[in-house]
Structure formats: structure tokens, C-alpha cells
Amino acid sequence: MNQNEALVKSAIHDAVIRAVTEISADVKGLLKDALARETNETAQSMLRSMVDNLSIAKEGDKAVCQSPGYPTTWLSFGDGNLPECTREAISEAVAEATKKGYLRPSMVDPLTRENSGNNTGKGVPNIEYEYHPGQKYVDFIISFKGCGAELKAYAYGKNLYVCPHCGRYGRLLARTRIRQIADKDTFEELYGDLASADPIHFPGYSDKTKELAEKVGMPDAVKTGVCKIGGVETALGVMDSHFMMASMGSVVGEKLTRLFEYATEKGLPVVLFTCSGGARMQEGMFSLLQMAKVSAAARRHSDAGLLYITVLTDPTTGGVTASFAMLGDIILAEPRTVVGFAGRRVIEGTIGQTLPDDFQSSEFLLSHGFCDKIVPRNQLKETLEKLLRLHCNPKAKKWQVWKRD
């Protein structure tokens, strides 16, 4: 093990322990302020217990909560700065923290319900990557997302993959989203056979896309087609974060461009569910070209007087945010969705300022006028139905013209 690998392993181990034993000063302050303002005796007792627990955890080197949730790491790195041992180091740190009693072994296999006993296994811990070419650094955030509650698959699915205990939104497969939004048995896929041709012959890229296509059940990161939503014929696009974090490659751009062109020709509204980690580095400039390509098709659709609705889902970042995701006539978002261009720490390092805690959230966007409404998942279909009927019903349009006259 070289010195760099040893430093990374040590830093990751310390970060895992701090993530479960410490709470930031601003959160502590909010809890104390809430206790000072509270007048209900029961609520006071609960808040007082939470504040006392923080002190006990700090003094005794104990976890603030033994069921903190799903271990997730965000890795941000530049050229050649990510040691090969990083994924292994994260898993080892989580397993060791579990063994020492900082974490309760609550992670189970979603299919077999088998518990590894150390909070590691397939897909656990979850690791999200953010690559910044031309830079030389490694940065990471470790968090335990959710509430740690074990969810039965049936109950979780019935609740539209929203945790009934803490309200955390699960990321959906494209086909699952379509089932939730499209009228039953009305979705017809378009351009489903398009797959990447590996334009710059990036090492291992073809094998990776083939593996993901088999695993996710679609050849790239977006599914497009036509369906009815509330009886209104609609062109629908759904990006899927399970395929390379829905990064925008040439296939994503081509399918979305064709979808807009089809909708323009047929006089249909477009509803697009966005999520993405940004441009796909394995396709180089071919990826970046898709921003202008899709945006131009969306403009031609708009010039034809047709409706375009975007629904921002977690996460919508990078070039997708900088182009077609923010061009909708109406922009909706799910609660607590991450929406942004560059990474938070990259921005803070560039401008030399600390950003607000809710920066790059859908709530932050709404308060600054960058989206029109935050819609809970269980209200999305109804909301889209209302909007489509209002804007696309010929009788309603005639009535509106007569009303203005």
C-alpha cells in the first residue's frame, strides 16, 4: 500500500465514524432553538431527549443513532487522483464501524432478505462518482441516508417507493415511472433499439454498456415513447439513473431529439422526467453536443406552439440542467431533488463562500423562481393530467379564446 492509499483509507475510516457520532453545529442549534420555543410538554420531552442524546454520544464516543440509514458516499475527483482501493476502503470502514457497535447491521439483500451482518453487500455502501477533468484532487462526503427502517418490498412499492417512515424518495427505474404516470396499457416505446456505437473507443465502455443494458433492461439511459396521461396523447421521455447515473451520451441525445421531432410532427405535448449526473465522459465531445441538439429540437417544438413539461427528479445535474431540463414551459420537481450544474464544493472553492444548506435543492430553486411547483410523487399523475387537459383540450382552448374576447 502506497502513502496515498494509506491516507485515503485513514480519511475514509475517520469520516465514517464522524458521520454516525457527530451532528453539525447548525443542526444542534436548530434542535436547541426548537426546544426553547416549544410549549407542548410531550414535544418538549422528545426534543430534550434528542438534545441530551447528542451530549451523551459525544462524551461516550457513541453513535447518535444506531439506525442512521443507507450508507452513501459522494466521491469527487480529478485526473488520476482516485486510488483503486477507494471502494474497498469504504466497505471496510462501514464493516468495521458495524463490528465496533457504531452501526446496527440493518442492511439486507432486497431479494433474498439475507443480512450480511456488517452493512455491506451488493450495492452497499452506495457510491456516487463526480469526475472533473483537468483538476487534481479527491474529495468525498459520507452520509447515511434515510431512517434505517427495514422496508418490505410490497409496502415500499405500494407507497410509490417513498419511505413511509422518513419520506425519503427512492430513485425509480424508467419502466416503473412509466407505470406510475401513463394511463394503463397505453405506453408505446419509440426508438428502443438505439445503442451507443462507442464513438471515441473509450477503454471498457462497450462492455460496460452491454452489462448495464442487461441489468437495467434498456440499452441506454432514457426510455421514450407515446402514451396517454389522463386521456391526453403525450410524448413521454423518462431518464433512468440506474444506467450510468443517466449520464447524457449520444443515444440519450438522439432519442430525446427524435421524441421532440415526433411530437412536433404529430402536434403532441412532451413530458420529460429528467435525472442525470451530467455529460458522459466516455463519449467526449459527442456527449456535450447533445445539449445543443436536444435544446434546438425543443425550441422547434415550442415554435410550433406545443407544450413542454419537465419534471426534475433526483439528481438532475451537469449538462442536462444547463440545457433541456430547464427549458420546459412548466417545470415541476419532486421534493428534496438535487438540481445543479457543478458540484457544491467546486463552487464554494471557486467563489470562496459557504453556500446555504438547501443550495441545489428543488426547494431552493422554487424559492428563487427556477421551477414552478414541487409536487409529491403521489400527486404527480393527477397534476400532469390537469395541466395537459388545460393546455391541450381543444374545447378548453376555444373557451379561453372566447373568454378573452
- pLDDT per residue over 151-166, tens digit each? 666 677 888 888 887 7
CATH 3.90.226.10 residue ranges of the chain are 172-404
Where on the phi/psi map is residue 99: left (φ > 0), alpha (ψ -120 to 50), or beta?
alpha
Q: In the structure, what pLDDT confidence band is assigned to residue 398 with cuts at 50, 70 and 90?
A: very low
Encode burial over 110-147: b for 16+ CB neighbours within 10 A, e otherwise: eeeeeeeebbbbeebbebeebbbeeeeebbbebbbebb
Q: Of the ranges 80-89, 125-134, 236-245, 396-405, which one carries the lowest mean pLDDT score?
A: 396-405
Residue 216 above 50 pLDDT? Answer: yes
Residue 38 above 50 pLDDT? Answer: yes
Residues 6+ apart with CB under 8 A from 371: 312, 331, 332, 333, 339, 362, 365
Residue 100 above 80 pLDDT? Answer: yes
What is the pLDDT averaged over residues 201-222? 91
Residue 222 above 50 pLDDT? Answer: yes
Cell of 292: 445543443
| Predicted pLDDT of residue 190 | 96
Residue 378 above 90 pLDDT? Answer: yes
Average pLDDT, the chain: 86
103/17 Cα distance (integer angstroms): 9
For domain 172-404, the question of CATH label 3.90.226.10 is answered with yes
Q: In the structure, what pLDDT confidence band is assigned to residue 2 with cuts at 50, 70 and 90?
A: low
| Predicted pLDDT of residue 138 | 76
Residue 378: count of CB within 10 angstroms of its CB: 11
Residue 267 above 50 pLDDT? Answer: yes
Residue 48 above 80 pLDDT? Answer: yes
Q: In the structure, what pLDDT confidence band is assigned to residue 129 with cuts at 50, 70 and 90?
A: confident
Q: In the structure, what pLDDT confidence band is assigned to residue 67 with cuts at 50, 70 and 90?
A: low
| Predicted pLDDT of residue 397 | 43
Give 127's Cβ-side CA count (13 Å radius): 19
